[in-house]
Amino acid sequence: MSYNLKEVMNKPERLAAGHRMCAGCGATIAVRGVLRALHEGDHAVIGNATGCLEVSSYMYPYTAWEDSYIHNAFENAGATLSGVETAYRALKKRGRLKENDNFKFITFGGDGGTYDIGFQSLSGAMERGHDMVYVCYDNGAYMNTGIQRSSATPMFADTTTTPVGTQSNGKLQGRKDLAAIIAEHNIPYVAQTTLTRNFKDMYEKSEKAIYTPGAAFLNIMAPCPRGWRYETSEIMKICLLAVETCYWPLFEVDHGKWILNYEPKKKLPIEDFLREQGRFKHLFKKGNEDLIVQFQNEVDRRWENLKYRCEM
């Protein structure tokens, strides 16, 4: 069935309004987008690593979650949901859930809780092949604690632990390629996406991730207005530029096959993506031209590598 934006948007919301996330935050757009891919009638248990999303969506005594939801700690969203998923199999096997009581298992973590402190727990859950989807909403820093660098933070970003100063141009290292690392776990489905083009890419990948039996991982670039310092209304434009500059390629690894889902007709220069964001402001100062060249070279190298993997 072809994707119909209006139809998809008319599905009942599974993350209710009234939560405390910021205006212009990518995380909630990602969460709502993923949950729309759940088929009607299917129950879900949503997991969540500690982070903005958790403290803003389930502040006692209010919850924004229409489905069952569990937050445990920062570094263990993978392990926690693996316990829930196993309990589901145990209760089904022992006849304590009815045959047609279907549950799906989706857990959300920011990049700090996923790339860094929760990496081991994620890797373990993926390797064991639990029938669950781990969704990383990647905003490229520890935003909840005040914009500290993570291993997902891009090169040269100005963060509170890689501050730009007279002796510093921001973060020295490039970002970890987590989607590729999880793909190397040889799980059935891995995809990278973001909030673009009527959410079609995100919706289709979410549906595949949720309904492919076994472990699945989604890496969703989800901008943060506080950490990236953009006008909240510009979020969709930034996501589009991330894709059009090939900073954030859209790809999937379906049962080991690498597939590039979108190739820009004309690859835009990386400045177009960087310029909108306060965290890269210093790159446009006179004398820092070579930093942008370095950034561009890194984007190009990774893009070529991805195309090679996708046999293009």
Partner 1 sequence: MPKKDRMSGNEAVAYAIRQVNPDVMPAFPITPSTEIPQMVSTYIANGQMDTEFIPVESEHSSMSATIGAQAAGARSLTATSSAGLALMWEELLLAASNRMPCVLTLVNRTLSGPININCDHSDSMGARDTGWIQIYAENNQEAYDNFIQAYPIAENGKVHLPVMVCQDGFITSHAVQNIELLDDDTVRDFVGTYEPEEFLLNPGKPVSVGPYSISAYAMEAKKNQEAAMENSKEVIVNVGRSFERISGRKYGLFEEYRTEDADYIMLIMGSAAGTAKQACDDLRAKGVKAGILKLRVFRPFPAEEIAGALSKCKCVAIMDRCESYNGNGGPLSMEVCAALFKYKTDIEAISYMYGLAGRDFTVDHVYRIFEEMEDHINNGTDVEQYQYIGLRKQEQR
| Structural contact between residues 189 and 211, judged by C-beta atoms closer than 8 angstroms | no
Minimum CB distance to partner 1 smaller for 70 or for 310: 70
CB of 309 to partner 1, least distance (A): 27
CB of 118 to partner 1, least distance (A): 10
Minimum CB distance to partner 1 smaller for 72 or for 153: 72
295, 203, 239: which is closest to 24 by C-alpha?
A: 239
Minimum CB distance to partner 1 smaller for 90 or for 312: 90
Query: Which tokens hold the place of 258?
Result: 């690498």
CB of 38 to partner 1, least distance (A): 13
Minimum CB distance to partner 1 smaller for 128 or for 302: 128
Which stretch of DSSP H or E encloses residue 197?
A: none
What are the φ/ψ torsions at residue 274 (nearest 5 degrees)?
-70, -35
CB of 208 to partner 1, least distance (A): 24
Secondary structure in 3-state letters for 145-160: CCCECCCCCCCCCCCC
Q: Distance between CA 118 and CA 14 in Å, rounded?
A: 25
Minimum CB distance to partner 1 smaller for 185 or for 229: 185
CB of 129 to partner 1, least distance (A): 11
Q: Which residues bind partner 1 (CB under 8 A)?
A: 43, 45, 47, 54-55, 58-61, 63, 65-73, 75-76, 78-84, 86-91, 93-94, 96-98, 101, 103, 120-121, 123-124, 127-128
Q: Distance between CA 274 and CA 299 in Å, rounded?
A: 12
96, 94, 68: which is closest to 81 by C-alpha?
A: 68
